[in-house]
Amino acid sequence: MTSPPQPFSDPLGLVPALDVDSFDDLLRVVEKTCEVPGVAGYKLGLTGSLRVGLARAVKAIRRLTDLPILYDHQKAGPDMPDMASKFAAICREAGIEGLILFPVAGPQAVRAFVGETLKNGIIPAVGGHIPVSDYCISGGGFMADDVLHRIATVAAEVGARHFVLPANNIEGIRRHVAWSLKAVKAPTVFLTGIGPLGGTVEQAFAAAKGCPARFAIVGRGVCANASPGDAARRLIDAMKAAA
């Protein structure tokens, strides 16, 4: 088992999701938020990397800040296991510190994508449940209701301790935190779907209380605001109040 790197080591923080309409918007959000206390890093998504290239986007962010960058390939991992080494190597070469992985293709995919991510010195942030009502079978979707727990169990065996949770599933957050505190050393959770998808910072952070490190990944709530820095400060204040 390989130990993951440690860039997200603070007890709580905000990770703006840079899913914006233009490269200029991406740079504007980073410039206005990178020195706000409590902003812990950035999530770079598929739209930004497709527009300008992954390596170029990372270099542009690096001119403004050294905060860690999570790359979300919307979502990496549901692929043939032998793609894992190629994907992780490309992300390492681009300068990515963390990868959001949703390896729903099965245990082999979990082991391959998490393992190769760790081998490349990158944090695997592992999820498996997006915050939409018809994702799981009970809501009319295709995924098993316990898909996230199944994936997380295998990922933890490989060495993952960072997990991505839907912020609108309060009971699910509580269950995962209780499990992770027994399954891995010093777990970290990234809470997504805050705002239009139904999650709130206050409820999600309160539900995750007891987890050593909690981070909110927020897109529109920061990036669509005319003042991203002020929006980030308000969210961070709400996190601290719920902590």
Domain ranges of the chain: 12-242
pLDDT at 46: 85
Which residues have CB under 8 Å from 131's CB, separation 6+?
166, 167, 168, 169, 192, 193, 197, 198, 199
Closest CA to 29 of 228, 215, 220: 228
pLDDT of residue 99: 97
199 class by beta-carbon count within 10 Å (0-12 exposed, 13-18 middle, 19+ buried): buried
What's residue 198's pLDDT?
A: 73
Q: Is residue 3 over pLDDT 60? A: no
How open is the CA angle 40-78-51, to the nearest 5 degrees? Answer: 55
> Per-residue pLDDT tens for 108-153?
999 999 999 999 999 999 999 988 889 999 999 999 999 999 999 9
Predicted confidence (pLDDT) at residue 209 exceeds the cutoff of 80:
yes
Radius of gyration of the chain (CA): 17
pTM for the full predicted model? 0.93
Q: Is the pLDDT of residue 182 over 50?
A: yes
Mean pLDDT value of segment 158-173: 95
pLDDT at 6: 59
CATH node for 12-242: 3.20.20.70
Mean pLDDT of 169-188: 95
Chain centroid offset of residue 97 CA: 11
- Statement: residue 2 has pLDDT above 90: no
Confidence at 197, pLDDT banded by 50, 70, 90: confident
